[in-house]
């Protein structure tokens, strides 16, 4: 409506006397398009202007030397990705490749780690970090942050190569739209991400990236933790199959939708030990629900709430996992090779890469075969479903091999393979 | 204005030339409208092509813009739309390209209007059922008033052309066009009938033009669908 009012106002301003009468529908429509375009342009430019101003108002402490030419820069948004970078940095350090580790969190464990050839620096977060990253001079920049050239982190013209390393066993179909389009290379876990990225490139007619399958770096860290850690103790007094309930958070999360139903059923059956490990975010975003569930189903002989940072303990003791759309599903499968029952949560594709893909990604499709995918109507039969999943695991090893090929190849080699790739790219630059 | 003067001269030349041939100002007005519109066909065609290109690119981006608007907000939304533009090689400023045609036509609109409103020769001249081409027609008597017929005829053709043209554009644009058509009716209601005769001819011409454009578009879409 405002457009129409605006259009008439501008008619009066633009045209002398009643000359507008000559406008036939074609010209009228043209004039309307023009005015709409004009208003759109003005709004668009005003937004650009305002947002650009916001960009440079950040605090400027912690800014590293931006005139310096770095060799390898590894950027982390925060400590949660340390396990992704540690194997790569350790390998680069061992090979004596000059590198720096920039992080946006002062409490990043990486800042305390001892390296010989790797410098570490906290560069601030938000706008401060963007200022640094957007003006960087380096041969190779590696990060887990998606959205290069789309969101706030832009390609610096002095960086020769941008590389993204995936940080989860799920595929990049879950990433937001155009997350990886402007990277020169992507280090992925398995063939599924490669297929997804090639499909997106073909559809968008964008430049072909280098895609290197290196495996899953943080899974390698979990593997070595598992090997060196002490998990071999009794968690429950009586020996029964242990079910780990490990959902994601939010309105589509398993605990939110069927928490009471499932917990009543499992605790009532008395056939199982149960570990409930909610997503850490649940205790912040869904505190009321958590308080309610903990009060109704408190710790007991056969039920434990697990809030430890390290997920390995709970996983180690579980014989079967019940989850929804949580990234932990494949971690459990690859590390322990035990079945997972999945309540398929509604996956919101809008705004994500999955929207532009012709089919569901491998991580979604495989859920049906690494265990059963369940619906609300299956809940009354849950006990018998669990029992049959625990006894019949004949097809599981084959499915795990397939899933590993698709999502996380080369166990234990991610750091080495990433370093090989980085060195090969830099070598070609010289 | 001096800028429009050459076009006004051209109109005067055409009108007087046709008058010397036919001896009727009414027919001369119709022939002048026909001539000017015929000469303008290539410009209309080019302008329409530019506008269609703009519409095509907007249509191509629309589903994604709607998708992004449904999940992103504020700065994030702005960045995603910016990226979409980049991906389609588009910038909102490009919308102005489609205006080229309008800028070429505008002087003709204005000059014609200026010329016909001050052209004394048609005053007191009758044509068919119109008593005086220099005055409103007042053809429909209603109690003590006389309602002008030509503005309604003109608007009728304008609406018809809008309806045909409307098949090529979005619903919001259609509504705008209909509102503009009705707006002209009010605005031009009391204009001299000579002027309205000329405009009615323009609108009939425009109707045919729209029909051809709509037909062309339909053919193009058919071709695309067959190709897909």
Does position A330 have pLDDT exceeding 50, yes or no? yes
| Among the listed residues A328, A274, A264, A331, the one whose alpha carbon sits nearest the alpha carbon of residue A299 | A274
Query: pTM for this one?
Result: 0.79
B1 touching chain A per CB within 8 A: yes
Interface contact B83, partner A, CB < 8 A: yes
pLDDT above 60 (res A342): yes
Instruction: Report CB contact under 8 Å: A30, B51.
Output: yes
> What is the interface size between A and B, counted as CB pairs within 8 Å?
150
Residue A15: the pLDDT is 45
**pLDDT-derived band of residue B17, with 50, 70 and 90 as boundaries?**
very high
Mutation target vs A (from B79, B208, B214; most A CBs, 10 A cutoff): B79
Between B2 and A188, the more confident residue is A188
| Cβ–Cβ contact B216 with A under 8 A | no
**pLDDT tops 90 at residue A186:** yes
The partner residues of B4 in beta bridges, in order of sequence, read none
Q: Is B178 in CB contact (< 8 Å) with chain A? A: no
Instruction: Give pLDDT, residue A359.
Output: 92
Crossing angle, helix A2-14 and helix A25-55, to 10 degrees?
A: 110
Mean pLDDT of chain A: 87
Contact A76, A143 (CB under 8 A): yes
Helix (H, G, I), strand (E, B) or coil at A322: strand
pLDDT at A51: 67
> Is A360's pLDDT higher than 50?
yes
Q: Is B176 left (phi over 0), alpha (psi -120 to 50) or beta?
A: alpha
Q: Range with the lowest mean pLDDT among A93-102, B143-152, B217-226?
A: B217-226
| Torsion region of B89: left, alpha or beta (phi above 0 gives left; psi -120 to 50 gives alpha) | left
Is B47 in the A-facing interface, judged by CB distances under 8 Å?
yes
Is the pLDDT score of B198 beyond 80? yes
Contact list, B99 vs chain A (CB under 8 Å)? 30, 33-34, 37
Indicate whether A119 pLDDT > 70. yes
Query: Per-residue pLDDT for B116 more than 80?
Result: no
Pick the residue with more confidence: B186 or B201? B201
Residue-level pLDDT at A59? 56
| Shortest alpha-carbon distance between residue A350 and chain B (Å) | 6
Nearest by Cα to A279 from A261, A254, A316:
A254
Contact B176 A28 (CB under 8 A): yes
- Interchain CB contact of A50 with B (< 8 Å): no
Q: From residue A129, how far is each of A61, A110, A121, B140 by CA, in Å?
A: 10, 17, 11, 76
Query: For the segment B73-109, what is each residue's pLDDT rounded down to a tens digit?
Result: 888 898 999 899 988 888 877 767 666 666 666 677 6
Question: A39 in contact with B at a CB cutoff of 8 Å?
Answer: no
- In this complex, is the C-beta atom of B67 within 8 Å of any C-beta atom belonging to chain A? yes
Query: Distance from B87 to chain A by nearest Cα, in Å?
Result: 8
**Taking 80 as the threshold, does the pLDDT of residue A41 lie above it?**
no
Tokens found for residue A29: 């429509």
According to the model, what pLDDT value does residue A97 have? Answer: 95
Residue A18 has what pLDDT? 39
Chain A residues whose beta carbon lies within 8 Å of the beta carbon of residue B55: 33
């Amino acid at each position: 409506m405002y457009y129409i009012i605006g259009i008439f106002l501008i008619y009066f301003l633009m045209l002398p006397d009643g000359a507008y009468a000559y406008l036939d529908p074609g010209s009228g429509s043209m004039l309307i398009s023009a005015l709409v375009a004009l208003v759109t342009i003005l709004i668009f430019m005003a937004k650009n202007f305002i947002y650009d101003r916001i960009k440079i108002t950040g605090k400027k402490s912690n800014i590293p030397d931006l005139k310096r030419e770095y060799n390898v820069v590894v950027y982390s948004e925060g400590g949660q990705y340390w396990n992704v970078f540690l194997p790569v940095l350790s390998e680069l350090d061992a090979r004596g490749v000059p590198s720096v580790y920039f992080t946006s969190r002062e409490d990043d464990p990486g800042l305390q780690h001892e390296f010989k050839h790797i410098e570490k620096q906290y560069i601030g977060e938000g706008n401060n970090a963007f200022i640094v990253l957007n003006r960087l001079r380096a041969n190779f920049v590696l990060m887990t942050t998606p959205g290069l050239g789309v969101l706030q982190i832009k390609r610096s013209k002095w960086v020769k190569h941008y590389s993204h390393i995936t940080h989860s066993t799920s595929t990049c179909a879950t990433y937001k739209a155009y997350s990886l389009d402007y990277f020169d290379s992507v280090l992925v876990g398995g063939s599924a991400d490669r297929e997804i990225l090639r499909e997106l490139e073909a559809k968008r007619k964008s430049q072909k990236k280098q895609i290197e399958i290196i495996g899953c770096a943080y899974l390698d860290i979990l593997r070595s933790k598992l090997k060196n850690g002490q998990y071999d103790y009794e968690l429950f007094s009586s020996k029964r199959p242990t079910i780990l309930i490990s959902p994601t958070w939010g309105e589509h999360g398993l605990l939110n939708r069927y928490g009471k139903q499932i917990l009543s059923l499992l605790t009532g059956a008395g056939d199982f030990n149960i570990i409930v490990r909610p997503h850490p975010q649940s205790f912040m975003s869904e505190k009321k629900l958590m308080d309610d569930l903990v009060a109704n189903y408190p710790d007991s002989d056969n039920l434990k709430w697990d809030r430890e940072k390290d997920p390995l303990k709970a996983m180690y003791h579980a014989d079967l996992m019940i989850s929804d759309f949580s990234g932990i599903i494949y971690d459990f499968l690859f590390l322990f090779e035990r079945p997972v029952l999945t309540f398929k949560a509604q996956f919101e594709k809008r705004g994500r890469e999955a929207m532009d893909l012709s089919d569901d990604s491998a991580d979604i499709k495989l859920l049906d075969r690494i265990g059963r995918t369940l619906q609300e109507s299956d809940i009354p039969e849950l006990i018998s479903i669990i029992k049959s999943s625990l006894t019949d695991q004949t097809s599981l090893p084959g499915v795990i091999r397939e899933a590993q090929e698709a999502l996380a190849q080369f166990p234990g080699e991610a750091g080495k393979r990433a370093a090989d790739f980085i060195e090969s790219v830099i070598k070609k630059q010289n | 204005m001096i800028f429009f003067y050459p076009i006004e001269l051209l109109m005067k030349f055409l009108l007087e030339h046709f008058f010397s041939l036919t001896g009727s100002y009414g027919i001369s007005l119709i022939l002048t409208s026909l001539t000017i519109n015929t000469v303008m066909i290539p410009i209309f065609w080019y302008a329409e092509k530019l506008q269609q290109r703009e519409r095509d690119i907007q249509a191509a981006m629309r589903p994604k813009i709607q998708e992004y608007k449904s999940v992103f907000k504020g700065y994030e939304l702005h960045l995603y739309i910016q990226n979409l533009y980049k991906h389609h090689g588009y910038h909102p400023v490009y919308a102005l390209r489609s205006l080229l045609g309008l800028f070429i036509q505008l002087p003709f609109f204005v000059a014609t209007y200026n010329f016909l409103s001050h052209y004394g020769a048609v005053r007191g001249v009758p044509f068919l059922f119109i008593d005086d081409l220099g005055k409103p027609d007042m053809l429909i008597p209603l109690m003590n008033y006389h309602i002008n017929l030509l503005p309604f005829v003109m608007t009728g053709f304008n609406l018809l052309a809008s309806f045909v043209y409307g098949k090529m554009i979005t619903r919001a644009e259609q509504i705008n066009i209909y509102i503009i058509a009705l707006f002209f009716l009010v605005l031009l209601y009391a204009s001299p009938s000579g002027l309205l005769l000329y405009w009615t001819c323009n609108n009939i011409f425009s109707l045919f033009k729209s029909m051809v454009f709509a037909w062309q578009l339909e053919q193009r879409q058919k071709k695309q669908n067959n190709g897909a």
